[in-house]
Structure 1
Amino acid sequence: MILTYLSGIVALFFAMNIGASGAAASISVAYGSGAIASRKKALLICGIAIFLGAVTGGSEVAKTIGSGIIPQDLLTAKVVLIILSSAALSLFLANLLGIPLSTSEITVGSIVGVGIAQQALYIKNIFVIAAFWVIVPVVAFTIAFLLGKLIAVVNKKYPQLREKRAQKILAVFVVIVGFFEAFSAGMNNVANAIGPLVGAHLISMNTGIVLGGFFIAMGAILLGGNVLQTNAKKITRFSLLEGGTISGTGSLLVITASLFGLPVPLTQVTSTAIMGIGVAKKGKNTVNKQVISKIVKVWVVSPIVSLVISYSLIKIFVDSDIYTIIVLLSVSVATFGILSLVKTIKKENSSYVEQGEGI
């Protein structure tokens, strides 16, 4: 019973961090384009939309997370606690850095880590999910790029769109579309927090979705500021019409995926759509490459980190296999050591070149 309560607490903590991370992906466009001037108002709208999306359409993805990756009979209270703790730790660290992180990736990574440790995985389902992690962002980039080119033509042909009255209408449109994108975030992301609990029958689907949706909304409102600022201001600049295109692309793709029960990376969908608009507008140099590079690295590393954490916790607390943990720690130390050594060598080589010295 204690493990059940602990699992519930971690799930709600995870839900709040999902809200903090998802805020950037779901309402940042409306804020970044100027349709919503206040950051507090943007986060409040985001929270309301996320809650409504969760309670009206979050069940399909929850079923996938709860029973579509590993056999449902593996999901005991202890295993659920390990899955949620691994995912929550990964996401919490990313939120502290202000990086928009895909909660779907880290949750699936945590579950896969458990499946590898227990040698029980639905491999086909995992490949399908992973394939859509690549396909959906690519589609988002392509749609946004093409629409960005169309917007350039429209702006040139109809200069009256820059007038104050037209801008007010466009601002309302962007806020509405942004609301639906946040709605889609609730549909897709609530499963990451409550799916394992539902799969283990520790909570009913309806109760889990309501509680999960509420805490995700609170996370967006109270903790989403840093990630919102990163996605809205530091990647590229965009107009109201461009912002509406980004939000519309994201909401359409994520709502569609949610209806089919597919957990997709909303942050990647929105961020790649922003990149598509930026490239269409002024070429590839318009995008802040340093920020993009940082985000992409976290995207790649995050599911692996959560996988390793959950795998290690299973080996410690379920299998009592200390030897595997020693190997993992040794690999980690060796990896960090090699990276540090490479960094030192590069710095030394740079110093020799600058000072005109050599060996």
Structure 2
Amino acid sequence: MSDILLYAGIVVAIFVGYNIGGATTGPAFGPAVGANVITKVAAAALMSVFFFIGAWTIGPAVVDTLGNDLITDSDIFTLEANVAVLFFIGGALFIGNYAGVPASTSMTAVGAIAALGLATGELDTAVAGEIALWWVVAPVIGFWVSGVVGRYFYPQINAWVAIEPNRDGDPMIAMDRSGLLPTIRFSEGASRRKSSGALIVVAIGCLMAFSSGTSNIANAIAPIYGAGGLELGPLIIIGSIAVAVGAFTIARRTLDTLGNDITNLPLTAAIIVAVISSTIVILLSAMGIPASFVVVATMSIVGLGWGRATRTTTLPDAAKGEETAVSIGALTADEEGEQLPEIGEEDTTDIPRASDLFDPSTTARVILMQNVVPLISTAAAFLTFRFVPFFGF
């Protein structure tokens, strides 16, 4: 019976890893895909490689945190309980991925594990409270830092970077397989500055994938490892392969959502989002907090889009002697070498609507689902472990 439960647990862990790949590929490479720097296939490949590197190097520390620190007595991690926990995690994440919204794997997983501890009276409330506090603070920091950058500093940064993505042409970076060995090929007409910027945004996406591996591998394998079913090394390999499958398949929906639907990201904006969100995630991981990677990255995208959409200027009306507040669309003028003006000096002709830069309805759907999915996992796990006699708690 224990062997059957172990195999069942591994299958469910693979399902969780599959959905982690679908949920985290979008925040890492959505900006690069949305700016047409790389293809979805290339994003999935890079996600797979760098997720595994992060999982293998730093991931074991986070596995230990979820397996030991959050729960005061690891004996409650029975094989039966582990299968149920992983089922709730995978099922909730699948709902988010199916809706095209990348839900937080850390919030979903920690919620299910915490529900097990709460139902059995073995939850370390101090650890859970610290994690929950940072989950609230970190996205707010990401949103406001990105919003401030988008509203006040984006024109200057864009003038330094001055990169325009090829939205209607081929991706800026692609693999050339015409020779004996595949090589990196840049799109025709790409300047050195554009090529450098494209490499930067891809490199930062790889860093975010690495950060995701350090924190999210635990969400798939920590319960199985805590029960002593398998050694950590094979579990990391199994979980990483499952993540890769999810990155190549279901992640296409979340890549569309974060790359195109929320906000129209030029390459400069993609770099800003990646820098801010990856920095926050790395700091959280260094503190030993299971990072809410998806929420931080998503709120950084939302913050930058909001900041750019609400950027205003006051222009004196020569006839009336009054000042008029105008939403500035010059933030989308990413022509190479163009020096964007300071606030108060913009050309107000041909200004797009704020909705062209920032989609409130899509944003509301994303934020709603990112909170609903963890709640589904947590509530279902608690009710099951508290009231179903099968688990013996």
Aligned with residue 168 of structure 1, among 195, 201, 205: 195
Residues 237-252 of structure 1: pairs in structure 2 closer than 5 A:
237-252=264-279
C-alpha distance 35-201 of structure 1, shift in aligned 2 (>3 A):
same
Residue 74 of structure 1: aligned partner: 76
Aligned with residue 124 of structure 1, among 126, 137, 160: 126
Does the CA-based 8 Å contact 1:60-1:259 persist in structure 2?
no
Shift in Å at residue 56 of structure 1? 1.7
Give the whole-Å Cα distance in 1 for the aligned partners of 2:161 and 2:281: 32
Aligned with residue 97 of structure 2, among 95, 98, 111: 95
Give the whole-Å Cα distance in 1 for the aligned partners of 2:232 and 2:141: 31
Residues 145-294 of structure 1: pairs in structure 2 closer than 5 A:
145-148=147-150, 149-156=152-159, 158=160, 164-283=191-310, 285=354, 286-294=357-365
Does the CA-based 8 Å contact 1:60-1:260 persist in structure 2?
no
Structure 1 unaligned regions, length at least 5: 322-359
Q: Report the secondary structure of 1:183's partner residue.
A: helix
Aligned with residue 137 of structure 1, among 123, 128, 139: 139
Shift in Å at residue 181 of structure 1? 1.0
Q: State the TM-score, normalized to the length of structure 2.
A: 0.76
Residue 22 of structure 2: aligned partner: 20
Give the whole-Å Cα distance in 1 for the aligned partners of 2:140 and 2:149: 14
C-alpha distance 155-95 of structure 1, shift in aligned 2 (>3 A):
closer
Shift in Å at residue 131 of structure 1? 0.7
Give the whole-Å Cα distance in 2 for the aligned partners of 1:159 and 1:247: 15
Shift in Å at residue 110 of structure 1? 0.8
| CA deviation map 1:60-82 (0-9, x unaligned) | 21111112222212111111111
Establish whether residue 46 from structure 1 lines up as the match of residue 118 from structure 2: no
Establish whether residue 300 from structure 1 lines up as the match of residue 302 from structure 2: no
Establish whether residue 318 from structure 1 lines up as the match of residue 321 from structure 2: no
Deviates more, 1:231-240 or 1:199-208: 199-208
Shift in Å at residue 269 of structure 1? 0.9
Shift in Å at residue 159 of structure 1? 8.4
Shift in Å at residue 161 of structure 1? 5.5
Establish whether residue 57 from structure 1 lines up as the match of residue 128 from structure 2: no
Give the whole-Å Cα distance in 2 for the aligned partners of 1:251 and 1:320: 42
Give the whole-Å Cα distance in 1 for the aligned partners of 2:58 and 2:31: 23
Shift in Å at residue 312 of structure 1? 2.9
Give the whole-Å Cα distance in 1 for the aligned partners of 2:392 and 2:227: 22
Q: Report the secondary structure of 2:249's partner residue.
A: helix
Q: Report the secondary structure of 2:230's partner residue.
A: coil
| CA deviation map 1:157-192 (0-9, x unaligned) | x58666843222211111111111111111111110
Give the whole-Å Cα distance in 2 for the aligned partners of 1:269 and 1:10: 26
Aligned-residue Cα RMSD (Å) equals 2.0
Residue 338 of structure 1: aligned partner: none
Give the whole-Å Cα distance in 2 for the aligned partners of 1:247 and 1:210: 27
Shift in Å at residue 246 of structure 1? 0.9
C-alpha distance 304-154 of structure 1, shift in aligned 2 (>3 A):
closer
Aligned length: 319
Give the whole-Å Cα distance in 1 for the aligned partners of 2:60 and 2:155: 40
Dislocated runs of 4+, deviation >4 Å: 158-163
Shift in Å at residue 265 of structure 1? 1.4
Does the CA-based 8 Å contact 2:22-2:250 persist in structure 1?
yes
Does the CA-based 8 Å contact 1:26-1:178 persist in structure 2?
yes
**Aligned residue type for 2:194:** Q
Which structure shows the higher helix fraction?
1
Q: Report the secondary structure of 2:102's partner residue.
A: coil
**Aligned residue type for 2:374:** P
Does the CA-based 8 Å contact 1:152-1:281 persist in structure 2?
no
Give the whole-Å Cα distance in 1 for the aligned partners of 2:49 and 2:202: 13
Q: Report the secondary structure of 1:318's partner residue.
A: helix
Give the whole-Å Cα distance in 2 for the aligned partners of 1:123 and 1:200: 22
Does the CA-based 8 Å contact 1:57-1:259 persist in structure 2?
no
Q: Report the secondary structure of 2:388's partner residue.
A: helix
Give the whole-Å Cα distance in 2 for the aligned partners of 1:28 and 1:294: 17
| CA deviation map 1:37-61 (0-9, x unaligned) | x222222222222122211221121
Q: State the TM-score, normalized to the length of structure 1.
A: 0.83
C-alpha distance 161-225 of structure 1, shift in aligned 2 (>3 A):
closer
**Aligned residue type for 1:32:** G
C-alpha distance 110-290 of structure 1, shift in aligned 2 (>3 A):
same
Give the whole-Å Cα distance in 1 for the aligned partners of 2:392 and 2:163: 66
Shift in Å at residue 280 of structure 1? 2.4
Does the CA-based 8 Å contact 1:90-1:306 persist in structure 2?
yes
Calculate percent identity across the aligned residue pairs. 28
| CA deviation map 1:198-253 (0-9, x unaligned) | 22222222222222122212211222111111111100012212211111222222
